[in-house]
Structure 1
Amino acid sequence: MKTKVIILFAFTLVTFNGFAQSAANCAEKLSIFAEMAKTKNYGEETYKQLQELRKDCPSFDKAIYIYGERTINFRIDNAKTPADKEKEVRDFIKLQEEFKTNFPAKALGIEVKKAMVLFENNSGTSDEVYQLLDTAFKNDKDNFSNPKALYVYFEIYVNDFEANKNGIKLQDVFTKYDQISDKIDEEEKVVSDALDVLLQKEESGTELTDKEKIAKKNHQINLDAFETIHSSMDAKIAQLATCERLIPFLGASFDENKGDAEWLKRAADRLDKKGCSSDPLFSKISDALHSLNPTAESAYNLGVSFYTKKNTTKALEYFNQSAELQKDNTKKANVYYTIARSIYGTGNKVQARAYAEKALAAKPSFGEAHVYIALLYANSANDCGNDPFEKRAIYWLAAQTARKAGTTSGNEAASSYDKLAPSKQEIFNSGRAGQSICFKCWVGKCVTVPNL
């Protein structure tokens, strides 16, 4: 018995020493590999280190796969032939699968990564890309947040419909559009809510930390990306969902779905977005929805219905009711923005600005409202100011306002307004550099002439 215990102890000691030595070897190899990757040295020696780690230490540390992804991406970008690129793309996919096998809880969004490396490098087939994205959307939706991937997922589906592939029907396209749009809305809300916190902190006079400034910039970039993707999806489906096709299609399904609030909501939204709200079917659907379940959405649809009938008083009543009922700040901001643009527009700039500001009060990151207020100012150049210099000075105010949006469209608008404002030579000739110009018209704001 004593001999058996000694043998067992000796075996355990040898095994433990083996594991310890193996861990030490893995740590040393990873240290060398990580140092190479950190300095962006992605040459053959770095790749050799990665291959050894994948073979000998696959479950040692997730850093193997994080730095490994960068290494193989470099090889993909610098592949000399299509065959070489294809080989590296497939190696990237294999690396992701190894990551998922060894670190299943940390390997998030893997299917999306695999799909996009295929798509962006023209590898594989559209069916292969779609299947990966479809699997991710159905099984790992929380980690499917890549704006471009969401658009590719939708685009391939629409292309298959147009090519009469896989038995896809028009209603299937609408359903897919709704599902992906809802996901984009979710992601936009997460980003815009985070941005709102930072914007409100700035508004209170508290300076953001360096980390918060970077986060603010990233949030604005992401919001811009989601806005672009949403617009691209709308443009894609616009080619399919014409009023001529939508009205008979939805009209034929109305009786079957008039008790389904979700169907009525989707149908009303689709008709509204396509500019089909003047058709009696839109009023019919909106009335049915409001009677079935009075909500912010149904009140909004009735507002649109009355607006198309040129009854702005009733339209404003229902739009305001919709805004008051809204619990989602993004949707509330959209309603107020609709009032600003559609009910008042440039005909009543005071009220238009007031409702645009209500949109910003509900959602500080609602950049479109800043851009619209800037447009109202720019359109008042001939109505404000005592002389030509002052009249054109309002473009500085318009530019400042547009830049608050923090979006591409805001910056582009600001740049165009800057070009319309007085030039440096005109500022010099006027002798008003650094002075304040106040607009006594409806604008009621002041702007400082830039110093030379």
Structure 2
Amino acid sequence: MALTAGLSLTSKLAAQGKYGATPEDSVECIMNLSLYSEFYKQWKSSGYKNTAINDAYGPWREVYNGCPGARMGTYVDGVKMLQFFIKRDKVAESKNAYIDTLMMVYETRIEYFGKEGYVLGRKGVDLYQLRITDYEEAYGVLTKSVELDGDASKPDVLVFLMRATKKMIEEGKIEEDIIFDNYDVCSKIIEVNLEANQADERRLANWENVRGNINLIFEPFATCEAIIKIYTPKFQENPDDLKMLKKLTRLLDRKKCTNDQLYFDATVKLYDLEPSPESAYLIGKMLMKNQKYSEAIDYLKEGEQIDDSETRANCFYYIAECYRMMNRFSSARTYYVKSAKERPADGNPYIMIGDMYAASKNCGGTELEKKAIYWVAVDKYVKAKQVDPEIADVANDRIRSYSIYFPPKEDIFFHNLNEGDEYVVECWINEKTRIRAAKN
């Protein structure tokens, strides 16, 4: 039997004490609390499988109606029981009555125990899952939950907000650009939580999974063509809208839509209105793509002040790339090293340093000195695959390619040197290595 008719909470109850309005009510409340709690424990200890739930349900209902402020556990347990009944019930009418009751329980919990953002999140997820026809209400509930909880929003709430957003667009209830707004909100929350849970593998994996799910929902809407089509008129109509500019540049950058003129125009405008390391970084990236390396470096160096370590590592790497393209190898190495320190598991900076060493064929006066550059180049490739196994194939290819240019044993002997001895490669490199002979 569904519970809806028995759970009408009146305003009079709101004024009651914790266990009821009168001493008699309190006695009855405590008795029902004890009864339902005992049967609930039996049900729980059976793995939520035995019939003790049927005995727990009646006294639980009395507690809910008679002393709704007694304890928060009443609502936690009630949700669990109602979800069980909903799953078990095959009759549409009674199933819907249970769903109505579940929604009411969430609202009453907020009234007595607060935590509105969190509880609305639970309500919205359940409503969307259990009664998809109420997607519009679920969308409103989930939106409010995320607005209230912000970075503390639960992972599944973000996923279901995006699902509800997609459904609302498909049903013509909201404009398509809303999914870009909600994706931006969810992505920022996810990034905050990824950063905060670096030391917790389980939570980190959970948030990464959420990011993947949200990207899958967003993907059909997220082509560069669609983003540019939606936001070009918005930008043209109000180019000084700071909030829109931040969202647009983040979105274009995240979706790698950085070759379009809109990206550059929006980024420059954002920098003009609110100069910041973040906007300077975006302009620097765009200038680098346009091969304006010297100008790019000026902007990218402003980006060194960015708080996010991942972005800062990218910033250092791009500065290094600009210097390398300008043949300023020493400066490039300085920034590749900075990038490697910021992102220790990335082997690419060492690959690039090795490539610069291998390209420095004019270092040294003698034939042996010229070949010594390959020792330090190979050292960097070995380092690259040590810190980043994913690029081991790239590193090994270079090691094979350049090891054949090591000096032969007779040249080493001719210069009164021995294999395995320490050797300093001079020129701009100025780095210690070990003497090795080419293999025959």
Query: TM-score, with normalisation over the residues of structure 2?
Result: 0.62
Name the counterpart of 1:110. Answer: 119
Q: CA, structure 1 residues 397+316, in 2 after alignment: closer, same or farther (shift >3 Å)?
A: same
Contact 1:86–1:123, Cα closer than 8 Å, also in 2? no
Name the counterpart of 1:54. Answer: 61
Partner of residue 312 from structure 2, selected from 335, 349, 353: 335
Contact 1:89–1:123, Cα closer than 8 Å, also in 2? no
Contact 1:290–1:299, Cα closer than 8 Å, also in 2? yes
Q: CA, structure 1 residues 290+356, in 2 after alignment: closer, same or farther (shift >3 Å)?
A: same
Residue 46 of structure 1: how far off its partner (Å): 2.2
Contact 1:333–1:358, Cα closer than 8 Å, also in 2? no
Residue 150 of structure 1: how far off its partner (Å): 1.8
For 1:337, the aligned partner's letter is N
Task: State the alpha-carbon separation in 2 of the partners of residues 306 and 224 from structure 1.
Answer: 31
Name the counterpart of 2:411. Answer: none
Name the counterpart of 1:6. Answer: none
Partner of residue 92 from structure 1, selected from 97, 102, 105: 102
Q: CA, structure 1 residues 38+106, in 2 after alignment: closer, same or farther (shift >3 Å)?
A: farther
- Superposition pairs of residues 106-185 of structure 1, within 5 angstroms: 109-121=118-130, 123-138=132-147, 140-142=148-150, 145-163=153-171, 165-166=172-173, 168-178=174-184, 180-181=185-186, 184-185=187-188
Q: CA, structure 1 residues 317+230, in 2 after alignment: closer, same or farther (shift >3 Å)?
A: farther
Q: CA, structure 1 residues 234+41, in 2 after alignment: closer, same or farther (shift >3 Å)?
A: closer
Task: State the alpha-carbon separation in 2 of the partners of residues 295 and 322 from structure 1.
Answer: 8
Task: State the alpha-carbon separation in 1 of the partners of residues 231 and 150 from structure 2.
Answer: 32
For 2:159, the aligned partner's letter is Y
User: Paired residues, what number?
Assistant: 352
Contact 2:145–2:153, Cα closer than 8 Å, also in 1? no
Contact 1:261–1:289, Cα closer than 8 Å, also in 2? yes
Name the counterpart of 2:5. Answer: none
For 1:354, the aligned partner's letter is V
Query: TM-score, with normalisation over the residues of structure 1?
Result: 0.60
Cα RMSD after superposing both structures: 4.8
For 2:269, the aligned partner's letter is A
Q: CA, structure 1 residues 84+269, in 2 after alignment: closer, same or farther (shift >3 Å)?
A: same
Partner of residue 292 from structure 2, selected from 302, 311, 320: 311
Find the residue that maps to 2:139 and give its secondary structure.
helix
Task: State the alpha-carbon separation in 2 of the partners of residues 342 and 79 from structure 1.
Answer: 63
* 1:45 and 2:52 matched: yes
Residue 77 of structure 1: how far off its partner (Å): 4.8
Partner of residue 216 from structure 2, selected from 232, 238, 241: 232
Task: State the alpha-carbon separation in 2 of the partners of residues 281 and 27 from structure 1.
Answer: 63
Task: State the alpha-carbon separation in 2 of the partners of residues 266 and 300 from structure 1.
Answer: 15
Task: State the alpha-carbon separation in 2 of the partners of residues 87 and 63 from structure 1.
Answer: 22
Task: State the alpha-carbon separation in 2 of the partners of residues 114 and 352 from structure 1.
Answer: 50
Where structure 2 has 5 or more consecutive residues not aligned to the other structure, the ranges are 1-20, 359-373, 395-422, 424-428, 434-440
Q: CA, structure 1 residues 81+286, in 2 after alignment: closer, same or farther (shift >3 Å)?
A: same
Q: CA, structure 1 residues 82+289, in 2 after alignment: closer, same or farther (shift >3 Å)?
A: same
* 1:267 and 2:211 matched: no
Find the residue that maps to 1:278 and give its secondary structure.
coil
Q: CA, structure 1 residues 175+268, in 2 after alignment: closer, same or farther (shift >3 Å)?
A: same
Name the counterpart of 1:64. Answer: 74
Task: State the alpha-carbon separation in 1 of the partners of residues 97 and 349 from structure 2.
Answer: 52
Find the residue that maps to 2:113 and give its secondary structure.
coil
Task: State the alpha-carbon separation in 2 of the partners of residues 146 and 225 from structure 1.
Answer: 13
Q: CA, structure 1 residues 50+156, in 2 after alignment: closer, same or farther (shift >3 Å)?
A: same
Partner of residue 278 from structure 1, selected from 259, 274, 282: 259
For 1:228, the aligned partner's letter is G
Residue 110 of structure 1: how far off its partner (Å): 2.4
What whole-Å deviation, never above 9, does each CA across 1:175-217 have from its counterpart, x for those lacking one?
3433x23xx4245425633x36xx5xxxxxxxxxxxxxxxx24
Residue 84 of structure 1: how far off its partner (Å): 7.1
Task: State the alpha-carbon separation in 2 of the partners of residues 136 and 274 from structure 1.
Answer: 26
Residue 357 of structure 1: how far off its partner (Å): 3.6
Q: CA, structure 1 residues 191+273, in 2 after alignment: closer, same or farther (shift >3 Å)?
A: closer
Task: State the alpha-carbon separation in 2 of the partners of residues 104 and 133 from structure 1.
Answer: 19
What whole-Å deviation, never above 9, does each CA across 1:80-124 have from its counterpart, x for those lacking one?
6777765654443343234334x2325652222222223334654
Task: State the alpha-carbon separation in 1 of the partners of residues 347 and 175 from structure 2.
Answer: 42
Residue 294 of structure 1: how far off its partner (Å): 1.4
Name the counterpart of 1:7. Answer: none
Task: State the alpha-carbon separation in 1 of the partners of residues 189 and 182 from structure 2.
Answer: 15
Name the counterpart of 1:36. Answer: 42
For 2:56, the aligned partner's letter is Q
Quick one: percent identity of the two aligned structures?
16
Name the counterpart of 1:354. Answer: 337
Contact 1:114–1:132, Cα closer than 8 Å, also in 2? yes
Find the residue that maps to 1:127 and give its secondary structure.
helix
Find the residue that maps to 1:109 and give its secondary structure.
helix
What whole-Å deviation, never above 9, does each CA across 1:22-72 have from its counterpart, x for those lacking one?
354134224414522542345332243133122244332211222333333
